């Protein structure tokens, strides 16, 4: 399942006549002695800065970005380098997007739409990649598939049943709570709009209302709480609430539903000898399937074209491979997708998805090893549960637990907030001294979404492509470096921090930043290019 949904609708825990969520914990400030030599940014980011924060520089901007702008200005300049193919194994991608259409990979060995497998790679008319899901969109979670199989002798069956029951009730409770909030917000919005005699109003207009009407005061208080939570308009609040209602409804109807069957391709997902399924339509099924498009934009949205955003990499082709449904991906699809990417020329593979049950994890590790053996780098999202991955297995991964890795070209990436200091680590981001390698910007990331649109998303799903973008620049500018060397460059060249940070958003759980990943660093494009240049010359 993709990792961008972090359920940031914490308004479910506001005091809008609701209770049971617990009091908000005070946010600690970072002591001066723990902030290295970089000061905290005293003012809020502007909209332009926020949309571009992952490209900013920690030293000059006091924002924990990756120094991408600095790298282009001082190092890359007008040097294009070699064309580099980055496979995005994800949900469907809008290959016609105004900011992506010119950077989509085209299989030059395939004749479009002639109904033949011209390059004999096993996939007919795979002009822009492959879709292993066919027309499918909604899916179960992996542990729900285990329950649906009825295999009560499976060693994790009871664990899966307990987890499903807990998660189902949690989703049902969240949905009910948010629906209550929706009703209260709608009522408050209507009351304030009637008082102001206008459907759309501003924060200033709400703050200026003077009334002794107690009922209206309560409605105004609700609206003010929304503003206090960082929303700019009640329209934005309503959209966020509606998105969460849809999210929890889908969780209940599909993800946790043991009776639901989402597979439409006609193959047996447990039979790895069946490889000819799916089709060549790599696009999204509906606009809500926006994850893959967002990831692709972070890496490679056309730079300096006057539209939308600048991707991190400047001379790259995105190879779309549709594997991730609205639910958990199938191991066989992931296995075949990695092999497809490797066999068709990708030098980097971005995998912004994951799960905690994997019936064929050995086969996926086999594919990860295959990528490493063929000089291909895999950059993977660490996950959004705020847990220590050295203590809990997540898939895909290049090792069993904290054991020996099957590849030295696999990077796991955690996520950062756009605020340097004690709140640097995204509260949702997984971490681990062994199983997470580095951190990168992952919150409030502005990028492409279907139908020529743009949006902010949050998650380690956004942090992984940030690192994929750096890897693409290195492989483009210094093509003599191996995938193993590129990985080492990225990890060695990051910004090392010794400051204390909150983990999992818990103010009582304070750790030194350098203990949360194998590198103890923030990915940095500028430093990576300097180090890559030195190694390349050797």
| DSSP codes, 232-246 | S-HHHHHHHHHHHHH
- Residue 445 shares a structural domain with residue 310: yes
Which residues lie below 8 Å from residue 259, measured CB to CB, with a gap of 6+? Answer: 148
Is the Cβ–Cβ distance between 291 and 324 less than 8 Å? yes
Q: What was the pLDDT predicted at 40?
A: 60
Is the Cβ–Cβ distance between 4 and 459 less than 8 Å? yes
DSSP state for residue 76 in the 8-state scheme: I
- Residue 162 shares a structural domain with residue 206: yes
Query: How many whole angstroms separate alpha carbon 430 and alpha carbon 388?
Result: 6
Is the Cβ–Cβ distance between 53 and 418 less than 8 Å? yes
- Residue 10 shares a structural domain with residue 147: yes
Q: What was the pLDDT predicted at 25?
A: 32
Rounded (5°) CA angle 512-515-518: 150
Query: How many whole angstroms separate alpha carbon 111 and alpha carbon 452?
Result: 27
- Residue 416 shares a structural domain with residue 527: yes
* Dihedral pair phi/psi, residue 370, rounded to 5°: -60, -40
Tokens describing residue 457? 């998303």
CATH number for the domain harbouring residue 59: 3.40.50.200
| Number of helices and strands in the chain (H, E) | 14, 13
Give the end of a domain, one of 227, 261, 295.
261
The set of long-range contacts for 8-13, using a CB threshold of 8 Å and a minimum separation of 24, is 8/458, 9/178, 9/240, 9/241, 9/243, 9/244, 10/229, 11/181, 11/225, 11/226, 11/229, 11/237, 11/240, 11/241, 12/174, 12/177, 12/178, 12/181, 12/244
Query: How many whole angstroms separate alpha carbon 391 and alpha carbon 238?
Result: 38
In the chain, the N- to C-terminal Cα span, in Å, equals 41
- Residue 158 shares a structural domain with residue 203: yes
According to DSSP, the β-strands at 506-512 and 500-503 are antiparallel
Radius of gyration of the chain (CA): 23
Is the Cβ–Cβ distance between 124 and 280 less than 8 Å? yes
Phi-psi region of 294 (alpha: psi -120 to 50; beta: other; left: phi over 0): alpha
Identify whether 396 is preceded by a cis peptide bond (ω within 30 of 0).
yes
Query: How many whole angstroms separate alpha carbon 376 and alpha carbon 393?
Result: 23
- Residue 447 shares a structural domain with residue 317: yes
- Residue 123 shares a structural domain with residue 247: no
Q: What was the pLDDT predicted at 471?
A: 98
Is the Cβ–Cβ distance between 244 and 223 less than 8 Å? no
Q: What was the pLDDT predicted at 48?
A: 86
**CA-CA-CA-CA dihedral for 138, 142, 148, 153, to nearest 10:** 180
Which residues lie below 8 Å from residue 366, measured CB to CB, with a gap of 6+? Answer: 335, 406
3-state helix, strand, coil in the chain (%, to 5): 40, 15, 50
- Residue 285 shares a structural domain with residue 201: no
| Count of beta carbons in the 10 Å neighbourhood of residue 36 | 16
- Residue 223 shares a structural domain with residue 162: yes
Q: What was the pLDDT predicted at 409?
A: 98
Give the end of a domain, one of 228, 261, 294.
261
Phi-psi region of 118 (alpha: psi -120 to 50; beta: other; left: phi over 0): alpha
Is the Cβ–Cβ distance between 14 and 225 less than 8 Å? yes
- Residue 354 shares a structural domain with residue 219: no
Picking from 474, 410, 416, the residue whose alpha carbon sits closest to that of residue 441 is 416
Digit-by-digit pLDDT tens for the chain (538 residues) are: 886 554 444 444 444 443 333 333 332 333 333 335 555 665 678 888 889 999 999 888 889 999 999 999 999 998 989 999 999 999 999 999 999 999 999 999 999 999 999 999 999 999 999 999 999 999 999 999 999 999 999 999 999 999 999 999 999 999 999 999 999 999 999 999 999 999 999 999 999 999 999 999 999 999 999 998 878 899 999 999 999 999 999 999 999 999 999 999 999 999 999 999 999 999 999 999 999 999 999 999 999 999 999 999 999 999 999 999 999 999 999 999 999 999 999 999 999 999 999 999 999 999 999 999 999 999 999 999 999 999 999 999 999 999 999 999 999 999 999 988 889 999 999 999 999 999 999 999 999 999 999 999 999 999 999 999 999 999 999 999 999 999 999 999 999 988 899 998 888 889 999 999 999 999 999 999 999 999 999 8
**CA-CA-CA-CA dihedral for 456, 457, 460, 462, to nearest 10:** -50
Give the end of a domain, one of 261, 288, 317.
261
Tokens describing residue 313? 């990499």
Q: Give buried/exposed letters for 338-375 (b at 16+ CB in 10 A, else e).
A: bbbbbebbbbbbbbbbbbbbbbbbebbbebbbbbbeeb
| Greatest CA separation for the chain | 77
Domain count of the fold of the chain: 2
Which residues lie below 8 Å from residue 472, measured CB to CB, with a gap of 6+? Answer: 84, 86, 299, 300, 312, 313, 316, 347, 348
- Residue 74 shares a structural domain with residue 163: no
- Residue 404 shares a structural domain with residue 327: yes
**CA-CA-CA-CA dihedral for 417, 423, 427, 433, to nearest 10:** 90
Is the Cβ–Cβ distance between 379 and 350 less than 8 Å? yes
Domain boundaries, position 512 = 39-139+269-537
């Amino acid at each position: 399942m993709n990792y961008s949904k972090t359920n940031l609708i914490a308004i479910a825990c506001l005091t809008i006549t609701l209770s049971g969520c617990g009091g908000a914990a005070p946010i600690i400030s970072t002591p001066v002695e723990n902030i290295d030599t970089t000061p905290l940014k005293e003012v809020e980011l502007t909209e332009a800065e926020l949309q571009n924060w992952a490209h900013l520089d920690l030293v000059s901007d006091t924002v924990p970005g990756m120094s991408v702008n600095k790298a282009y200005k001082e190092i890359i300049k007008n040097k294009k380098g070699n064309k580099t193919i980055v496979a995005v194994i994800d949900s469907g991608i809008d290959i016609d997007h105004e900011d992506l259409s010119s950077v989509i990979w085209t299989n030059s060995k395939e004749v479009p739409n002639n109904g033949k497998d011209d390059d004999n790679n096993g996939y007919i008319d795979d002009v822009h990649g492959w879709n292993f899901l066919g027309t499918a969109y909604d899916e179960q979670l992996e542990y729900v598939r285990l329950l649906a199989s009825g295999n009560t002798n499976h060693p994790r069956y009871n664990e899966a049943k307990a987890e499903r029951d807990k998660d189902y009730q949690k989703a049902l409770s969240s949905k009910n709570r948010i629906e209550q909030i929706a009703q209260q917000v709608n009522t408050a919005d209507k009351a304030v709009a009637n008082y102001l005699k206008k459907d759309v109003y501003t924060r200033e207009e709400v703050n200026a209302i003077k009334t002794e009407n107690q009922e209206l005061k309560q409605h105004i208080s609700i609206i003010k709480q929304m503003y206090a939570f960082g929303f700019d308009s009640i329209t934005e609040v309503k959209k966020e609430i509606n998105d969460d209602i849809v999210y929890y409804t889908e969780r209940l109807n599909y993800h946790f539903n043991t009776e639901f069957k989402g597979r439409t391709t006609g193959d047996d997902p447990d039979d790895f000898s069946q490889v000819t399924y799916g089709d060549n339509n790599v696009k999204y099924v509906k606009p809500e399937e926006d994850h893959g498009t967002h990831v692709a934009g972070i890496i490679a949205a056309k730079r300096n074209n006057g539209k939308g955003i600048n991707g991190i990499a400047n001379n790259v082709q995105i190879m779309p491979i549709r594997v991730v449904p609205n639910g958990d991906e199938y191991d066989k699809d992931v296995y075949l997708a990695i092999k497809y990417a490797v066999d068709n020329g990708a030098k980097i593979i971005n995998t912004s998805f994951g799960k905690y049950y994997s019936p064929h994890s050995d086969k996926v590790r086999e594919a990860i090893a295959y990528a490493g053996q063929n000089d291909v780098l895999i950059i993977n999202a660490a996950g959004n549960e705020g847990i220590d991955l050295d203590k809990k297995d997540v898939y895909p991964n290049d090792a069993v637990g904290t054991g020996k890795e099957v590849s030295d070209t696999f990077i796991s990436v955690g996520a950062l907030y756009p605020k340097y200091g004690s709140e640097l680590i995204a509260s949702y981001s997984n971490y681990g001294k062994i199983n997470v390698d580095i951190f990168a910007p992952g919150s409030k990331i502005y990028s492409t979404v279907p139908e020529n649109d743009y949006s902010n998303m949050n998650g380690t799903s956004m942090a992984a492509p940030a690192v994929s973008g750096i890897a693409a620049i290195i492989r483009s500018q210094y093509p003599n470096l191996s995938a193993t060397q590129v990985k080492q460059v990225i990890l060695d060249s990051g910004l090392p921090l010794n400051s204390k940070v909150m983990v999992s958003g818990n103010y009582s759980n304070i750790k030194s930043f350098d203990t949360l990943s194998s590198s103890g660093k923030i990915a940095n494009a500028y430093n990576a290019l300097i180090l890559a240049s030195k190694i390349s010359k050797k």
